[in-house]
A and B are shown apart, each in its own frame.
Chain A
Amino acid sequence: MLSKRVIACLDVRDGRLAKSVRFVDTRDIGDPVEKAREYYLDGLDELVFYDITASSDRRRIMLDVVEAVAAQVFIPLSVGGGVRSVADATDLRLAGAEKINVNSAAVARPALIAECADAIGNQNVVLSMDVRSVEPSTTCPSGYEIVINGGRRPMGIDAIAWALEGERLGAGELVVNSIDADGTREGYAIDLTARVAEAVRIPVIASGGAGLPEHLYEVLTAGKADAALVASMVHYGDYRISGLKSYLHERGLKMRMSW
C-alpha cells in the first residue's frame, strides 16, 4: 500500500527562502537549494516550491532555483506560484519540476486546469486551494470559501464545489490550504481537509497550521489526508523530517522509512 507522505513547502521570494505567517510579513530564512538538499537527505518524500516573488523578472529567478534543486534532489518536485499558462507550466517542467501547482489563475480561469492536464498529464497538475471558513450561505453552503491573492480576496466560491470542479477539469491532486490555520502552528484544519478528501477521489495534501508531530498524525488519520505539508516547524529547526516520519511510523502509519 501507499505510504503517507511528508511534504516540505519552501516559499521562495527573489530566489531566497521565506516563510509567511498568515500570509503577511515574510522573513528570509535561507538558501532554498541548500534547504531542499538537507530535507531530501533526511527522508523527505516530496518537495513543493512556492514562488512568492513580486518582481517582473520572477520567472527567470525561479527557473534557476528549480534547475539547481532538480540537479541534486531526486524525489518529486512540485512548483507553484504565478502559473498562468501552459507555457509557464512547461517552462517549469523543463527546469525540473515534476508537478505544477495552479492556484489563483485557475480560479480566475478554470480552463487553465484542463489545458495544463492536457499538456503535462493529469497526475502532474496540482490544484492548490486557499480556503477560509465563513458562515454557511447559499454561495458557500459548506462554510468554506475560496480566497485568492494570498488570502486577501474572497471569491464567493464554495471550497468543496471548487475541489470537485478541479477534479473534473483534470487536476491530479489537491492541496487544501487553510488560511485560518496557516502559520499558526496550532494544527491543520481537520474538518475542512476531511470534507474535501471525502468529496474527491484524487489525493489530498493538507496544508497550513502544522506545529507539532501530532498535528500531522491527526490530519493523516481524522483529516483523511494522503500527505501532510510542513513548513515553519522544520524550517526553523524545531523538528526534523526524519523525526516526524519516525513519530508517524511509530504511531502506526505506513511511512517510507528507508532512504
Chain B
Amino acid sequence: MAIIIDYDAGNLRSVQRACREVGLEAAITADPDAVRRADRIIFPGVGAAGPAMRSIAARGIDAALREAIARGVPTLGICLGMQISLDYSEENDTTTLGLIPGRVRRFRFESRALKIPHMGWNEVRVTRPHPLLADVRPGDEFYFVHGYYPEPARPEEVFAVSDYEIEFASALGRDNYFGMQCHPEKSGRVGLSVLARFAEWNGTC
C-alpha cells in the first residue's frame, strides 16, 4: 500500500489527486504503523522545519520512516518533506532527520529584484540520470514555492539543479530515497511524469 505521510504540514490532497491521475492510489495517514507497513511512501509538506520536526517526533513518524527507508521502501520527499531529510535546517535552527548528509539554507539576496520565497515556474536541469527524472527534458519547468534550499554534502547525491541567483539542488537522493524541492503535483505533465515513474520505481538508481 502506498501512503502519503500527514504531519500537519499543509494540504496533502493535491498530492493524492495527482497520484490518482497517474494510477497510484495513496492513503493519507499519520499512523507510524502505516508508515512501517507501506510499500511506497510520499513525504510531502509545506510549512516550517521546526514545527514539522516536532509533529513528526510527537507522532513517532521519524523512527518509522527511518526503518522503512532502511528496509528499501521507495520514498519520495517533496518540498519541506525533502528538506527535513537532510541533517540540519537554518529554518527555526532545526536538527532534521539526517537521511542525506547536508543542510538547508535560507535564500539571502541583496537585490530587491529577487523575491523570497522563490515562487513560480523554473527550470529543473537534470545533472545525473535518475529513473524518476527519465521523462524530464531540457527546458522543462516545475512549480516551486520555498524560501530555503537544500545543500547536500555529497555531489553524487544531487540529480538536478535550478537557478535562482544561485544554483541549488532541486532533486537529490540516495538508493531508494528521492527528494524534490519543487512540487511535481502542481507541475503539469512533467510533474505527473515524476509521480508516474515513482509509482513503478523499484527503489534502485
Contacts and interface: CB of A to CB of B under 8 A. Distances in A.
B46 A121 contact: yes
Nearest to A226: B120
Interface in A75-119: 75-76, 93-94, 96, 98
Given A96-B13, A96-B17, A256-B121, A75 B188 contact: yes
Nearest to B186: A76
Contacts of A70: 13-14, 17
A145 interface: no
A19 interface: no
B120 A5 contact: yes
A1 B111 CA distance: 14
Contacts of A40: 188
Q: Would you call the interface of chain A mostly helix, strand, loop, or mixed? A: loop
A258 B120 contact: no
For chain A, the bracket of interface size reads 20 to 34
B14 A96 contact: yes
A2 B122 contact: yes
A121 B91 CA distance: 15
Contact of B139 (A2, A123, A258): A258
Contacts of A54: none
A172 interface: yes
Contacts of A203: 115, 119-120
26 contacts: A3-B121, A70-B13, A70-B14, A72-B21, A74-B21, A74-B187, A74-B188, A74-B191, A75-B143, A75-B187, A75-B188, A96-B14, A96-B17, A120-B11, A121-B46, A122-B117, A123-B119, A123-B145, A173-B119, A201-B116, A202-B115, A203-B120, A256-B121, A258-B137, A258-B141, A259-B189
